[in-house]
Amino acid sequence: MILHADELPPGATLSAEICIVGGGPAGITLALTLARFGHDILLLESGDLEANDATQALNAGEVADETLHSPPDKYRVRCLGGATSIWGGRCMPFNPIDFEARPFVPHSGWPIGYEEVERHYPAANALCEAGEYEYDARLAVSGGMRPLIAGFAPMHFDMNGIERFSCPTHFGDRYRARLRSLPNVRVLLRSTVVRLAASSDGARITQVEARDSKDRPFTVTADQFVVAAGGIETARLLLASHDVHAAGLGNAEDLVGRFYMCHIAGTAGALKVVGGRETVWHGYDVAWDGTYCRRRIALRPDVQRQRGVGNVIFRLHHPRIADPAHETGPLSAIFLAQRFISYEYAKRLVSDAPPTPGLWLRHGFNAVRDAGSTVRFLTHWLRHRTLAARKFPSVIIRPRRNLFSLDFHAEQVPNPDSRITLGNSVDRFGNPQVRIDWRYTRQDVDTVLQAFNLLRGDLAEQGVGTLTLAPNEQDIETVVRRDGAYGGHHIGTARMGASAATGVVDRHGKVFGLSNLFVAGSAIFPTSSQANPTLTIVAMSLRLAEHLRDVAGRVARVRTAVEAVSAD
């Protein structure tokens, strides 16, 4: 059932077998799965069914360098479904190399192997509505997908990997009916958790303290607690719960909030492909199950090892929208419509300096001169994006003269100095706000630089095309800084480790030093991979659900045994 906390009697104490904090993709996956296993679940969601300003204001905080990282209230949504209410739907599994301890990537290595996560990818794909678990371009579409660039077989890159797209599925909308009908699930909206209270010996969590939307307190007791509040909020909650553990929960080794990673991502370069338009296919194909699929260019793992660089992929992209030199009507139409596009998408689509009247005029001229294309583009967008239930995933524009730019999406290496801390200001509940100090390293820049150089070499060697960087992109670090931290990917702040010296949580996601506190979501990823995190967040949550089923089962058996003894 779905309730909201305002309905509770004042000072209420609720209890459940398992209490989940956060109703995003991780929390909803856990609730749905654990309910099927027969457990009694209470899921606390700070927001409502839809976001509202008052609750959204709880996300406020400060950013050390606003040119590098978006404000803390962006890309994070307090509502049932969390950030899946605004995500783009790109699904992509991690690669086996991401789980290895790589000597050239400091602090790398997961305490679990790839196969432990891969086992859950098919079900995660289904929950994300990204079709079947098939990420090979030769198999995803019957007869195989057409090549990205005909005849191009690069030495250093794999061209057969694809990304698949969710609808994009808003987990709150999609699974609301199921959550409502499950007899052993209670979803409590308008429930902002302000503190996780530890027992006096610090060994376990006894209850969470929460506030309803009218700021009235209530508490929840449970056998097991899971924090699934997102990569930033999870760190904040652990750090702010410091009455018994002075440094915060799980933070004896000063790891909570550190190793904060997004992705190093952006758009750069000019790729001129030799040959006619038929040489290049950079759009989407549709798999039998209706999923949109798209090829990508991935740096091969053996090359990563050999060169000592991180994981990285490229996609073919249309020219930068803000520059009217593309002379392309639809792109200029997007530029002109930027005020109607949400911050999260406008940032990546448009960006650059504030537009001047002259720039507006040039874009207006493009849109009018290329009116036929503009109208066709808008009609397609209306039909296959706005009105469709499975949405066409992104703007695909065929540029003039086979001249593309490149989207890159690269792993950021773990860096203890990139971190989330508690700031000096407080929210309306008196809880410290976050301070985000996202940092990249020389190695992150080097991953992108080497990948560009290798791709340029492969293209030239095979005579397929030329890749050049504009004068203002020659220093690749300026490109990295221009786009900054990829929005919405909040990773590593409660990392998984083999021991308390290297991780906040163990291989199951349990916080070291606390017997009944777990973390779900991308906060526990020790490394960031090339992949967008949502699919792996869901897969890891399915894995945690299996573990919690075993833990909760043991607790129930012990309880039965104790009751039997005391009855004697």
Residue type, 159: M
By CB under 8 A, tell whether 488 contacts other proteins. Answer: no
Sign of CA dihedral 245, 250, 252, 256: negative
Residue whose CB is less far from other proteins, 60 or 274 = 274
By CB under 8 A, tell whether 327 contacts other proteins. Answer: yes
276: which 2 tokens?
């006619």
By CB under 8 A, tell whether 456 contacts other proteins. Answer: no
C-alpha to C-alpha distance for 447 and 308, rounded to whole angstroms = 8
Residues near other proteins (CB under 8 A), total: 46
Contact residue for other proteins among 15, 302, 376, 560 (CB under 8 A): 376
- Closest separation between CB of residue 166 and other proteins, Å? 11
Q: Segment near other proteins (CB under 8 A), from 376-384, 407-415, 428-436, 513-521?
A: 376-384
Residue whose CB is less far from other proteins, 157 or 377 = 377
- Closest separation between CB of residue 329 and other proteins, Å? 7
Q: Segment near other proteins (CB under 8 A), from 60-68, 80-88, 247-255, 368-376?
A: 368-376
Residue whose CB is less far from other proteins, 31 or 220 = 31
**CA of residue 406 relative to chain centroid, distance:** 21
The CA-to-CA distance between both ends of the chain, in Å, stands at: 37
Residue whose CB is less far from other proteins, 281 or 525 = 281
Q: Is 555 exposed, middle or buried (0-12, 13-18, 19+ CB in 10 A)?
A: middle
Contact residue for other proteins among 9, 10, 11, 143 (CB under 8 A): 143
Non-local CB neighbours of 148 within 8 Å, separated by 6+ positions: 159, 280, 281, 282, 295, 297, 316
- Closest separation between CB of residue 56 and other proteins, Å? 25
C-alpha to C-alpha distance for 107 and 415, rounded to whole angstroms = 8
- Closest separation between CB of residue 545 and other proteins, Å? 16
Q: Is 509 exposed, middle or buried (0-12, 13-18, 19+ CB in 10 A)?
A: buried
- Give ∠ CA 468-446-135 in degrees, rounded to 5: 80
Contact indicator for 78, 58 with CB cutoff of 8 Å:
yes
* Residues linked to residue 491 through DSSP beta bridges, in sequence order: 261
Q: Segment near other proteins (CB under 8 A), from 105-113, 328-336, 410-418, 462-470?
A: 328-336
Residue whose CB is less far from other proteins, 78 or 318 = 318
C-alpha to C-alpha distance for 505 and 513, rounded to whole angstroms = 9
- Closest separation between CB of residue 171 and other proteins, Å? 11
HSE-up of residue 395 (Cα within 13 Å, Cβ side): 25
Residues 256-315 that bind other proteins (CB under 8 A): 277, 281, 283-290
Residues 384-413 that bind other proteins (CB under 8 A): 384, 387-390, 392, 396-398, 400
Residue whose CB is less far from other proteins, 400 or 442 = 400
Q: Indicate the DSSP class of residue 337.
A: T
Phi, psi of 226 (to 5 degrees): -125, 125
* Residues linked to residue 426 through DSSP beta bridges, in sequence order: 432
Residues 94-123 that bind other proteins (CB under 8 A): none
Contact residue for other proteins among 4, 74, 119, 174 (CB under 8 A): 174
Which strand (E) or helix (H) includes residue 419?
strand 419-426
17: which 2 tokens?
């077998």
By CB under 8 A, tell whether 373 contacts other proteins. Answer: yes
By CB under 8 A, tell whether 183 contacts other proteins. Answer: yes
Contact residue for other proteins among 4, 74, 119, 146 (CB under 8 A): 146
Contact residue for other proteins among 157, 259, 335, 377 (CB under 8 A): 377
Contact residue for other proteins among 138, 178, 442, 557 (CB under 8 A): 178
Contact residue for other proteins among 329, 487, 509, 533 (CB under 8 A): 329
Contact indicator for 536, 526 with CB cutoff of 8 Å:
no
Residue whose CB is less far from other proteins, 212 or 285 = 285
* Residues linked to residue 20 through DSSP beta bridges, in sequence order: 43, 226
By CB under 8 A, tell whether 186 contacts other proteins. Answer: no
Residues 123-142 that bind other proteins (CB under 8 A): 129, 141-142
Residue whose CB is less far from other proteins, 328 or 493 = 328
By CB under 8 A, tell whether 173 contacts other proteins. Answer: yes
From 138, 148, 135, select the one nearest 459 (Cα to Cα): 148
Q: Indicate the DSSP class of residue 203.
A: S
Q: Segment near other proteins (CB under 8 A), from 44-52, 327-335, 406-414, 426-434?
A: 327-335
Residue whose CB is less far from other proteins, 181 or 306 = 181
Tell me which residue has tokens 């070291």. Answer: 512
Residues 9-68 that bind other proteins (CB under 8 A): none
Q: Indicate the DSSP class of residue 524.
A: G
C-alpha to C-alpha distance for 225 and 207, rounded to whole angstroms = 9
Contact indicator for 217, 4 with CB cutoff of 8 Å:
no
Sign of CA dihedral 103, 104, 105, 107: positive
Q: Indicate the DSSP class of residue 135.
A: -
Q: Give the footprint of other proteins on this chain (CB under 8 A).
A: 129, 141-143, 146, 167, 173-178, 181, 183, 277, 281, 283-290, 327-330, 370, 372-374, 376-377, 380-381, 384, 387-390, 392, 396-398, 400
